[in-house]
Structure 1
Amino acid sequence: MKLIGSLASPYVRKVRVVLAEKKLDYQIQLENVWGPDTGIHLVNPLGKVPCLVMEDGYVMYDSRVIAEYLDTLTPVCKLLPPNGRERADVKNWEALADGVIDAGVVVRLERTQRPPELQSAPFIDRHLLKVTRGLASLSDRLGDSPWCTGTHYSLADVAVGCALGWFDLRFPEIDWRTPHPNLARLHDKLHERASFRDTVPQA
């Protein structure tokens, strides 16, 4: 398998963590979707990463779809329950973590892709509020539990950990640790795992 993506993307990192946890072999092809010479549209018409290219040429995209598929390939380190409410709960955690990232990405694009005189402060504030509320919700849901879904490491933890790591990279001015020490503990515990240490996001 070949994974197309960047070392900064939290969505690509999520897939890389899953690949590491599942002990699956793959090659990574680095791609800057914002570069003038990007060819990402040739594999994903939406122009996004990650993309997972199978040995037969089939291309799968969207980190949530890819992660769910990878979890079916081997019983090693099962990250999703088989079905029912427990599975939906893990996917709900993942959707919330990805949604917090989505809001942050919008802010970053507004600040970096538009000239200062065209940037909208109310628009930025609206999406930063989504980030604040999303992080607070993740913290409230985690509570005092060792892992997002209780006692077991899952894709929920992977998604939350990748979100927190990305905010450290792109929004170092946002202090999420002080108001949410339980998220800080989870983040630190995740970085005891090789899958997280080996995929620290890089600009």
Structure 2
Amino acid sequence: MKLIGSTTSPYVRKVRIVMAEKKLDYQFETEDVWAADASVGAANPLGKVPRLMIEGHETPLYDSRVIVEYLDTLSPVGKLLPPSGRERADVKTWEALADGVLDAAVLARLEATWPGRGEGERSQAWIGRQMGKVEAGLQAMSKALGEKPFCCGIHMSLADIATGCALGWLAFRFPQLTWREDHPNLARLSDKLAQRPSFKDTMPG
């Protein structure tokens, strides 16, 4: 398998962590989706990473949620998704929440930094709206986590990987946010996950 993506993308990082936790072999090829000569659009019509190339298959897999769900079926090592039912839905809901926080934060950052817009063209109202979603998402995660050791109970799952990637990217791109002080239970979870080799080896930046 070959994974194509960016070392700073939290969605790519989620896939890389799943690969490491499940001890899967793969090649990692970096690609800048913003480069003028980027080929990502030819393989993913949405022009995004990650995408996973699988030997013997012409069409790649794309979207991190699709990729990690597929990867979890490849090995019984480190199962990250319950097989079915409400437990599986709970993990996937956590993943959707964490990815949704990232989606909003990415939109806010692009509005503030994308070189294709002049300073007078940037919308502070749009940035504020997206950052409001980030804060609401963090509050929801903190409330749902409570005092549990992991997002969905006593074992690490895909919910924790997605949440850890979201928190790690916020710390990387939005160091001014005070989520660690505002939500100490999320900070504890983030610190615990950061000790795992899979998280250490994929730190952005």
TM range (shorter): over 0.9
What's the counterpart of residue 6 of structure 2? Answer: 6
Deviation digits for residues 16-75 of structure 1 (CA, Å, limit 9, x no counterpart): 000000000000110100111111112111100000000113300000000000000000
What's the counterpart of residue 84 of structure 1? Answer: 85
Q: Secondary structure at the match of 1:52?
A: strand
Q: Secondary structure at the match of 1:178?
A: helix
Instruction: Give distance in 2, aligned partners of 1:194 and 1:55.
Output: 27
Note the residue ranges of structure 1 that are not aligned, 5 or more in a row.
none
What's the counterpart of residue 199 of structure 1? Answer: 202
Deviates more, 1:57-66 or 1:69-78: 57-66
Asked if 1:138 corresponds to 2:141, the answer is yes
Asked if 1:16 corresponds to 2:16, the answer is yes
Instruction: Give distance in 1, aligned partners of 2:156 and 2:60.
Output: 28
Once the two structures are superposed, the pairs formed by residues 60-139 of structure 1 within 5 Å of their partners are: 60-113=61-114, 114-139=117-142
Report the count of equivalent residues.
202
Deviation digits for residues 107-159 of structure 1 (CA, Å, limit 9, x no counterpart): 01101122210011111111110001100110000000000001110000000
Asked if 1:36 corresponds to 2:36, the answer is yes
Instruction: Give distance in 2, aligned partners of 1:26 and 1:86.
Output: 29
- Calculate percent identity across the aligned residue pairs: 62
Spell out structure 1 runs of 4+ moving beyond 3 A: none
Asked if 1:190 corresponds to 2:193, the answer is yes
| TM-score relative to the length of structure 1 | 0.98
Q: Secondary structure at the match of 2:33?
A: coil
The one-letter code matched in structure 1 to 2:74 is: L
Instruction: Give distance in 2, aligned partners of 1:187 and 1:199.
Output: 14
CA RMSD of aligned residues (A): 0.7
Q: Secondary structure at the match of 2:179?
A: coil
Instruction: Give distance in 1, aligned partners of 2:7 and 2:156.
Output: 23
